């Protein structure tokens, strides 16, 4: 059975078999949480009562797992305003059940109006995909970005500066992932029902904090290419 005690100002979790003394960074999280709760309550005593009632975000954010690009901070939004999915290098794989489940819930239940694929310059995942080194299991994930490279190799192989090449691949990766999102039956079926769903591609510049809109937004399946378009689903017999 777990108990929690205060010891020298730190929280110590004790179990029957071991004693876990958290590091400073761990305790910083807990203190940060208590401070955040207090700040919220100071500005609005009903803040958490309202937050607990439910969510109605209008945005689905598909971003990179990188610790420097949190959706709410980057966009100046609050808890409750952005539904979030993140993975390494913001890749949208058409058979990723995690992503598809998030997208289906966001589009069909929450009825979000905007899906934003958000990459960032200097992305470590994209940079790793430009090498031939093995990093482990992640190599199989990064294969998806190598496919983006192959699609755009004529352009990328003309770029000699490494940082410029990484950053151009970041932009092309976001563009291709926007395209992948649009190809899903989730988005295409939603477009048959409503016209207020838009898919966008962004890149965050970590050196300035500013977002670059890649202007690849889409709100219909016309530009998908015939082979990817799906017809309206027929009712099951």
Residues annotated as part of the active site = 64, 66, 68, 120, 123
Binding-site residues for Zn(2+): 64, 66, 120, 123
**Half-sphere exposure of residue 154: CA atoms within 13 angstroms, side-chain side:** 1
Binder of Zn ion out of 123, 148, 178, 190 (CB under 5 A)? 123
Shortest CB 208 distance to Zn ion, Å:
17
- Which CB sits closer to Zn ion, 91 or 199? 91
Do residues 79 and 62 lie in contact, with contact meaning Cβ atoms separated by under 8 Å? Answer: no
Contact mark string toward Zn ion, 137..176, x via CB under 5 A? ----------------------------------------
Tell me the closest approach of the beta carbon of residue 164 to Zn ion, in angstroms. Answer: 17
Q: Token pair of 109, please?
A: 């239940």
8, 14, 18, 20: CA torsion to nearest 10: -50
C-alpha distances out from residue 90 to 42, 57, 163, Å: 36, 20, 19
Which residues does 129 contact at the CB level (< 8 Å), separation at least 6? 89, 142, 143, 145, 146, 149, 169
Q: Minimum distance from CB of 138 to Zn ion (Å)?
A: 12
Task: Identify the DSSP state of 107.
Answer: I
Distance of CA 88 to the CA centre of its chain: 9
Given the rule CB under 5 A, which of 59-67, 75-83, 103-111, 206-214 is the region that contacts Zn ion? 59-67
Among the residue ranges 9-17, 40-48, 62-70, 132-140, the one whose residues contact Zn ion (CB under 5 A): 62-70
As measured in angstroms, the least distance from the Cβ of 229 to Zn ion is 31
Distance of CA 158 to the CA centre of its chain: 30
Look up residue 66 and give its two tokens.
Answer: 């990188």
Q: Which stretch binds Zn ion (CB under 5 A): 26-34, 36-44, 56-64, 164-172?
A: 56-64
Residue choice 59, 60, 62, 64 for contact with Zn ion (CB under 5 A): 64
- Tell whether residue 66 is a contact of Zn ion (CB under 5 A): yes
Residues within the interface to Zn ion (CB under 5 A): 64, 66, 123, 125
């Amino acid at each position: 059975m777990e108990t929690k005690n205060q010891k020298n100002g730190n929280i110590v979790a004790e179990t029957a078999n071991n004693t876990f003394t958290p590091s400073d960074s761990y305790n910083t999280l807990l203190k940060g949480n208590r401070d955040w709760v207090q700040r919220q309550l100071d500005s609005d005593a009903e803040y958490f009562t309202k937050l607990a009632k439910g969510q109605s975000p209008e945005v689905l954010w598909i971003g990179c797992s990188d610790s420097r690009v949190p959706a709410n901070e980057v966009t100046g939004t609050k808890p409750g305003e952005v539904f979030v999915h993140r993975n390494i290098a913001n890749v949208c794989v058409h058979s990723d059940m995690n992503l598809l489940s998030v997208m289906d819930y966001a589009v069909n239940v929450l009825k979000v109006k905007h899906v934003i694929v958000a990459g960032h310059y200097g992305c470590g995942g994209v940079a790793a995909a430009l090498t031939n080194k093995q990093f482990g299991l992640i190599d199989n994930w990064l294969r998806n970005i190598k496919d983006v490279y192959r699609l755009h190799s004529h352009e990328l192989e003309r770029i000699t500066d490494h940082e410029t090449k990484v950053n151009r691949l970041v932009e092309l990766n976001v563009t291709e992932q926007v395209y992948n999102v649009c190809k899903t039956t989730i988005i295409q079926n939603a477009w048959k029902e409503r016209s207020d769903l838009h898919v966008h591609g962004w890149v965050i510049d970590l050196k300035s904090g500013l977002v670059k809109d890649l202007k690849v937004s889409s709100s219909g399946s016309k530009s998908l290419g015939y082979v990817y378009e799906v017809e309206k689903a027929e009712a099951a017999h």
